[in-house]
Structure 1
Amino acid sequence: MLALPPSLEPYAPLIAMILAFVDGLLFGLAIKKAVVSFVLFVVAVILGGYIGFSLPGVSASYLISRAVGLAAHWISSAPAIFSGISIFFIIGLAVGIWKG
């Protein structure tokens, strides 16, 4: 499981749970920051289009259609992702998204 010194071997399950929770927490923070950044980028593109600025080849409808397609793909593969993850990782992920 974990390569620990002999003095810490009895605590291996507890250490594994703590590591899973901290990993989930960090992933939750990263996911929340990524979602906020994406939303702000979409808002900037929409506002830029409203006042006459635009990026070549990027429109609000293109971004929204790509986001919906990616979200549908991620949601369809979510059960396979979460089937092998411990409850502590999921709790850490939820706390990271909530408090991030």
Structure 2
Amino acid sequence: MWFSRNRDPPVVCPACGSEIPRSRAREYDKYGDRWDREDKRFEYLCKPCYGELCHYPRDGLEDALVELEADRHPWETVVDRYLRALEERDEPLEES
């Protein structure tokens, strides 16, 4: 049996659309838990896009955003509601 010469398949960065070899990409898990690998499909970001990500913990972020966006408000309203929800939970707001 012959093996493929291309053992480093290309991946596409979802942030910028660049096609790069998998070995040069960074694994991205939108739930923020890349160590729990069971039944997961990862996306792969190029190094510049990965470097621009916020690397703070995101526990509960996805659920909070889904809840806040359930009524289909304009994005600015969703962000405003999210910031108010954080203040109510006494979570610190980090500024870049």
Q: Which has the larger radius of gyration?
A: 1
TM-score by length of 2: 0.23
Name the one with the larger strand percent.
2
Name the one with the larger helix percent.
1
TM-score by length of 1: 0.22
